Amino acid sequence: MKDFEDVRVEWEENQCSDCARFQGSFYKAKIQLRGHDLEKVSEVIVDKAAELTNMNRSDFLSNVEKIDGGYDYYLSTEKMNKKILSELRSKFDPDIERSYELVGERDGQRVYRNIVSVRL
């Protein structure tokens, strides 16, 4: 004996928080790379970012902009920023300056974004 029933299925599209951040070009840190002959350094940054993304999906390179005098790299986490800067220090000995940009408030606390200037 066989029994058949109709079943209604409702489809709801949702993204995980990491995918939503990636789609929304979210970033917590920005590396501003300036100087001459930056292609090799840029390759190191992109390769390290890919390595970190493969280890943890929360770490991703949100965007890269080529501008006059260098590149801007938009990173999803501060942890990723620190690891990339450590890699740059060990290979190139750059001048590094940090600053912070106020981006808003969350639960009454000011939220800042880390901006790092790397000059070769």
| Tokens coding 57 | 């999906």
| pTM reported for the whole predicted model | 0.82
Give percent of the chain above pLDDT 70.
Answer: 100
Backbone angles phi, psi at 66, to 5 degrees: -90, 120
Give domain status of residue 52, yes or no: yes
DSSP state of 19: H
Q: Which domain holds residue 27?
A: 17-119
Give domain status of residue 1, yes or no: no
How far, in Å, CA of 17 to CA of 1, rounded?
A: 46
Give domain status of residue 25, yes or no: yes
Bridge partners, 31 (sequence order): 73, 116
Q: What is the pLDDT of residue 12?
A: 85
How far, in Å, CA of 48 to CA of 51, rounded?
A: 5
40-85 confidence digits (pLDDT tens): 999 999 999 999 999 998 999 999 999 999 999 999 999 999 999 9
Give domain status of residue 3, yes or no: no
CA 94 to chain centre: 21
Number of domains in the chain: 1
